[in-house]
Every structure is written in C-alpha cells, then in structure tokens.
Amino acid sequence: MSEESVISQTDIEKAINSVKAIKDGPRALQLYMDICAKCGTCAEQCHVSRANPQRRTNPAARSDLIRKLYKQNGSILTKIRGLFNGQSNNLSPEDIETWVRDFYECSGCRRCAKFCPFGIDNSVITRKGRAIVHALGMSPKMMAQTQEMSDKFGNDEGQTYASFMNAVEFLESELQEEHGIPIKIPVDQEADILFVPASADLVSFPETQMGCATFFHAAGLSWTMSSEAFDGANFGLFTGDDAHMKRKNKLLHDACLKLKVKKLVIGECGHAYRIAKRIGGAFYWGGDIPYEITNIFIIAAEELARGKLRLDPNKNPEPVTYHDPCNFARSTGVIEEPRVLLRACTTDFREMTPNRDYNWCCGGGGGLAVMDSKEGVKKNEVTFLDYRMNVGGKMKLNQVKETGAKYLAAPCANCKRQLMQLMDYHKMDVRVGGVFDLFDKAVILDK
Amino acid sequence: MGGIKIFIGEILPYITLIVFLSGITHKILKWTKAAQGKMTLYPAASTPGDKWKRIVKEIFIFENLFKGNKPLWAGTWVFHVSIALILIGHVRVVTDFPLLWQVLRMGKEDVDTLSTTLGGAAGLVIFIMGIYLLVRRLAVQRVREISDKDDYLTLALILGIIITGDIMRFVTHFDLAQSREYFVALFTFKSVAVPGDPAFLLHFFLGQLLIIYIPFGKFLHIPGTFYSKSIIYQE
Ligand code: SF4
Ligand code: SF4
Ligand code: SF4
C-alpha cells in the first residue's frame, strides 16, 4: 500500500482541508491549537521523548506538525500568529511521510496531559494526524489490514464461527483438566451478562480467558459470550477512523440486544473498555440503552467484597507487579479494582513507581504493540519492533526491573504482547500475563 | 514627539479596547459553541463543584506543573503571582482609594511606603523571573527546540513592559497624580495632556500591544485553561 502510493496534489489538498476544518472541530482540538505555551513540560513526561530525546519526539513539536499548518490556514486570528512565525504555506509529500512516522511514534497514552499546565492532551492531535493519513490510505500496513479483517470477520484475528467454537471447546477441556470440574463458556445464550474480551485472548492469552470463565463460575453469575461479538478490540481508535470504530462497536450493541443481557462486561482490554464505555455505548446508541456497560474488574471487586469468592493467595507466592494499562488507569479510571483482586490472589504484590494514573505506558499503546516490521512506513528508520523494544518500552523496562517482580500482570492484550516481547528481548526472567491468570490459580472452587 | 504622544495616549487606547474585546469575545464564543465528546482523564472529579474546585486550585497553585517540572513551577508561579500583585497595584495608577486608606488608618506616607516596598519588590522579582524564563527558553534544549518566534516576541514584549515600568519606579519616579488625571479624561472622552515621561509612553504603548495580542497568541492560555481543564476533569 503505502510503499507504492504516490502522494498527489489532491491528497495534499485533502490533508490541508482537514487541518483547516479544525477551526470548527471539537473544542479540545481548537483549544490545543491556540493555547500551548511551549513550556516543555510534556517533553519530560512522555516516555518516548524521555527515552529518545530529540526534537521530533517532543510532544509539542509533534503536535506542531499540525498546529503550524493550522495557523497558516485557520481563521484570520490564527493567521496573524502564523505570520509572526514566518511560516511558508506548503505541505510537501515528504511532510506527509513524516506525519505517518511521527504520529505512529506517539502511543496515545495521555501521560503528557497529566502534567501539562493546561491539561493539553497531545494524543488528541496525534489521533487527528493519524486520521488524516488514514484517509489518504497511508496508515501502517498492519493497521489497515487489521481493520479490513475486522470488518470482514467481526474480529481482529479473522476467526470464523467454527474456529471460535473450537477455541471455546478447547478452553473448556483445559478448564476441566485444571479444576477437575466442568466449567462452561456459554455461547449465544440469553443471560444477565455478555462477556467480551479482546479476541486475542482466545488465541494468544488463553489463561486470561480461562481465568475469566472461572470467575463467572465461582461467582455464580449468569453469563454468555457471543459468536458474533467476541472481540472488544477496535482499531478505529488507533487509526483515527471514527466510522470503523462505530461499526465495530455496533457488533457489541447488537449482541447485547439480541441476547437481552443486563450488562455488557468487557474483559482485560484497556482500549476495548474505553471505547465501549466512554466513546461508544450510550454516546453512539442513545442514553436509554437497556444494558449497563462495565468491566470484569469492577464486578470481580464487587463479588470479592461481597464475600462470594474464596481465594488462596499462597497459590501465587512469587513477587508480582501490576502494569496500569493507560486506557484503564487514565482513560477509564479502573485503578483500584485490579489491585484489590491481585492482593487477594498473591502474597507478594509490589507497586511500580510511578503507578496508577501516573504510570508509564508500556510502549505498545496506540496500536503499536501489534506491529513488528516497518509496515510500509517509508520514513521509518527502524522496525516497529526495534522501536518498541529500545525506545517505547525503555521507561517501562526500568520500572519493572526495579520491582524485582517475577510476574508482571498487564490486563490488556496490547500491553501483554508488548511486555512479553520486551521481557524476552531484554532477557528478563519475568513472566507476563493477565490478572485473571492468577485468579484462576488462587480460586478455591466447590467441588 | 507630539504626534506619537497623541497616538499612544489618545487614539491607540480606543483601538486596543475594540480589538481586544472583539477578539476575545470571538474566541470565547467559538470555544463555547464547539462540540466536545467526553475525554475525562481519570481519576475524575466526582461532582461539578469538585471539578471547579480542582480548576481553581490549578489556577492558583499550578499543581500539574508542580508535579511535572519543579524548577519551572517555581519560576513561573512567582512570575504569575508578581503579575497579579502588579496588576492590583496598577489600579492606583488610574484612581485612588482615600476611603480604604481611612478605614485601614493609613496616611498618604504609609500608602506610599507600602507601594514602594511591595510594588518595588514585585517589580524587581518579576524582572528577574522574566529573565529566567528567557534564559530557560534559550538554554534548555527541550524548550529551545519547540520555541518559535512568537514565543520570544511575547517574552520580549513582557520584558519591555517590565523594564519601562521599573524605570518609572526607580529612575524617573513617575507621579501618579498625572496618570489619574489622564485616565479620567480618557474614559470621559475629554482631551487632557498625556503624561510626557518617555518611560511612561513606551510602557503604555507596549502594554497596549500586549493587550491587543492576547486574543491572537499564546496569551490565550489565560482564558483557555478554564476550558481545557474543564474538558479533562469532567465526569
Ligand atoms: S506541557 Fe502543555 S503547554 Fe507545555 S509544551 Fe507541552 S503541551 Fe504545550
Ligand atoms: S500521548 Fe503519550 S506518547 Fe503521546 S505525546 Fe503524550 S505522553 Fe507522549
Ligand atoms: S497497550 Fe496498554 S499501556 Fe499501552 S496504551 Fe494500550 S492500554 Fe496503554
């Protein structure tokens, strides 16, 4: 795709027009064009900028790719400011190639917004930039392919009904073997709860999926999965493709209506929950949707508080630490619930510093975690894997090292992949998995 | 000289007022009317009251910045507090408060001493902080690499205002009676002699330029911060 594509004059005009349109766009974008004081604080608080300090990784400089263009093309007011900066009014094909590279260096983790004196969230500008290159067909290959796959099959992995049912059957037999009793994964049944993980869990992180099933069993909840909507992951958030994001979110909505559930419960996937709860859900389908949208950590913490779960922390004696997926901590406020659960399931829980909403991103955010090659991004000097291992993941790696933990719990499919690769790459003796993996070990079931 | 005096003292003030008011109204309306989806940054404020409490706290103590960059926090906090003090002090340039002084049992001399010490101190401190911000912008690589011409221009403008202000206070000892008389005339559209102190003229001129520039440049962070914080704090 991107390698062969030639950027035409029409493409450039399209890009410029999208930037111009910001002047009547969302309030946050308008403000971010106007109020950045170039104080440099975000450069100190962004993991990318810290790990690889140079102008292009400076969040304010990356945002300036769009901001400068906006100021030449915006209203008269902003033009005056543009004049002072002596900017020439052109966007070259090369500039657009630069956009693809630079906007895919930001993981959209929103840490900068926690420290900016005005709360400027540079990820909003990043997403705008990505949306523009996506509209020109220039998204990194893997991003575009995953979306296509998802539109075709309803999940990012391209699983069919048969392969999904196979996976479910396999997991049920594993559960039987592990616990010595049958633990069901109900599919397409009317129930109180529709459970939606990231479909990657079914294939790549089966222990997490098994732990979730065991939890529903142990708590005695009425739940089901849907063969039509078992993937909460949604790359529309990463590519800036709002239409795709809405299409994919509709699968969940439709399944909830069809199965008449009271709750949509998202599993261990940060961005899936953010979209289901904060971006989509009631905002797409109306405030009167007949089901509540929540998350498996929230209901598990409730069941635990109610005394419905019996857990033996001695089953997990190794030192365990917790990685706050940014989409849980900063974007949906799921912060204490996973910790409550971890403390109940382990004997040696250790916090990283900084943690919670100040946590460093794993370096795989914004969809980066699934990309390994250069993905057809012309200007990439290194592969995405190289970049994630040596730049994006650097702050996280040091944090994990400091804890001395042997198990790193990261409840997000993207974080898991990034962190597994990171630990491998740097020869760290640390296992990476979910929170419910540990729950599955610690839980005491009635036989 | 006479022409410049008339322009700065009798024409420009009206232009300043019109440009500033229309510019800022335009911006505020634009921001207010713009649609915005939820993009709360957690932990969120629990109630609207809580949200505003956090915004006000940010405005007064710059908590985010404190967590993000301590030296800059110290410098810029002192800088902004000095601006606030100086702006309050400037009310005396336009009018006096005999009643207030009576209530506080302060004689003219006491008021002058207060003004000289507090105003003088603020004038010096803000000069030092202005220089600090400029040096930081030039010396710290991560700041320098994102600095544009208008970042330097605004700093230069502010420093120009500070220096001319300090000259009036410490060198030419500007007499406030002159300016009060002048401002009363200005507001009642009467023609009265514009104070002739060149430091005053330059100070007044640069100050007006700054006010004109507020709706167009980075000074928009002053009103903008209420809006941008409101977006990420809301629940
Ligand atoms: S911290 Fe905020 S104001 Fe400062 S440079 Fe970054 S985005 Fe701009
Ligand atoms: S969103 Fe994260 S990666 Fe992007 S600029 Fe901000 S801190 Fe850096
Ligand atoms: S991959 Fe994980 S840490 Fe990283 S952005 Fe997603 S949730 Fe955040």
For A407-438, how does the pLDDT look when each residue is reduced to its tens digit (9 = 90+)?
Answer: 999 999 999 999 999 999 999 999 999 999 99
pLDDT at B234: 86
Average pLDDT, chain B: 93
Residues of B in contact with A39 (CB under 8 A): 65, 69, 72, 76, 143
Q: Are residues A85 and A109 in the same domain?
A: yes
Domains parsed from chain B with CATH numbers: 47-232 (1.20.950.20)
Whether A88 and chain B come into contact, CB under 8 Å, resolves to no
Q: B107: pLDDT confidence band, cut at 50, 70 and 90?
A: confident
Q: What spacing in Å lies between the alpha carbon of A270 and ligand 3's midpoint?
A: 7
Q: Are residues A297 and A318 in the same domain?
A: no
Q: Looking at residues A303-317, what average pLDDT do you find?
A: 97
Q: Order across the sheet with A319-322: list the strands.
A: A348-350, A319-322, A407-409, A431-433
Atom index in ligand 1 nearest the CA of residue A115 equals 1
- Evaluate whether residue A147 is within a structural domain: no
Q: Are residues A109 and A174 in the same domain?
A: no
- Evaluate whether residue A228 is within a structural domain: yes
Give the A:B interface size as CB pairs under 8 Å. 163
Q: Are residues A233 and A112 in the same domain?
A: no
CATH classification at residue A297: 3.40.50
Q: Are residues A169 and A265 in the same domain?
A: yes
- Evaluate whether residue A2 is within a structural domain: no
Instruction: Tell me the residue ranges of DSSP E strands in chain B.
Output: none
Residues of A in contact with B231 (CB under 8 A): 27-28, 31, 119
For residue A230, the enclosing domain spans 154-305
Condensed to tens digits (0 to 9), the pLDDT of residues B47-89 reads: 999 999 999 999 999 999 999 999 999 999 999 999 999 999 9
**Cβ separation of A35 and B229 shorter than 8 Å?**
no
Number of Cα atoms under 13 Å in the Cβ half of residue A351: 12
Q: A122: pLDDT confidence band, cut at 50, 70 and 90?
A: very high
Chosen domain end from A250, A276, A305:
A305
> What is the number of structural domains in chain A?
3
- Evaluate whether residue A218 is within a structural domain: yes
Q: Take residue A258 and report the two structure tokens written for it.
A: 């069809």
Number of Cα atoms under 13 Å in the Cβ half of residue A84: 18
Is the pLDDT assigned to residue A326 strictly greater than 90? yes
Q: Take residue A323 and report the two structure tokens written for it.
A: 């990685």
pLDDT at B96: 84
Q: Are residues A161 and A274 in the same domain?
A: yes
- Evaluate whether residue A1 is within a structural domain: no
| Pocket probe mutation, ligand 1, options A110, A116, A122, A123, max atoms within 8 Å of Cβ | A116
Among partner residues B65, B140, B215, which is closest to A117 by beta-carbon distance?
Answer: B65
> Measured between alpha carbons, how far is A166 from B96 in angstroms, rounded to an integer?
85
Residues of A in contact with B58 (CB under 8 A): 117
Condensed to tens digits (0 to 9), the pLDDT of residues A142-195 reads: 999 999 999 999 999 999 999 999 999 999 999 999 999 999 999 999 999 999
- Evaluate whether residue A4 is within a structural domain: no
pLDDT at B100: 86
Condensed to tens digits (0 to 9), the pLDDT of residues A330-344 reads: 999 999 999 999 999
Q: Are residues A289 and A172 in the same domain?
A: yes
Query: In A, residues 106-125, which contact B (CB 8 Å cutoff)?
Result: 110, 113-121, 124
Q: Are residues A118 and A78 in the same domain?
A: yes
Chosen domain end from A305, A323, A354:
A305
Q: Looking at residues A278-298, what average pLDDT do you find?
A: 94
Could you write out the DSSP letters of every residue in A112-162?
HHHHSTT---HHHHHHHHHHHHHHTT-S-HHHHHHHHHHHHHSSTT---HH
The CA-based angle A188-A191-A194, given to 5 degrees, is 70
Q: Is A126 a pocket residue for ligand 3 (Cβ < 6 Å)? A: no
Q: Are residues A122 and A204 in the same domain?
A: no
Q: Are residues A124 and A225 in the same domain?
A: no
Q: Looking at residues A352-361, what average pLDDT do you find?
A: 97
Q: Looking at residues B116-145, what average pLDDT do you find?
A: 95
Q: A3: pLDDT confidence band, cut at 50, 70 and 90?
A: very low
The CA-based angle B222-B52-A31, given to 5 degrees, is 40
pLDDT at A2: 42
Q: Are residues A254 and A218 in the same domain?
A: yes
Condensed to tens digits (0 to 9), the pLDDT of residues B4-29 reads: 999 999 999 999 999 999 999 999 99
- Evaluate whether residue A240 is within a structural domain: yes
Among partner residues A39, A78, A329, which is closest to B72 by beta-carbon distance?
Answer: A39
Whole-prediction pTM: 0.94
CATH classification at residue A28: 1.10.1060
- Evaluate whether residue A117 is within a structural domain: yes
Q: Are residues A208 and A182 in the same domain?
A: yes
Among partner residues B67, B143, B147, which is closest to A115 by beta-carbon distance?
Answer: B67
- CA-closest residue to ligand 2 atom 3: A106
CA-to-CA separations, B143 to A235, A370, B61, B183, in angstroms, rounded:
33, 33, 22, 40
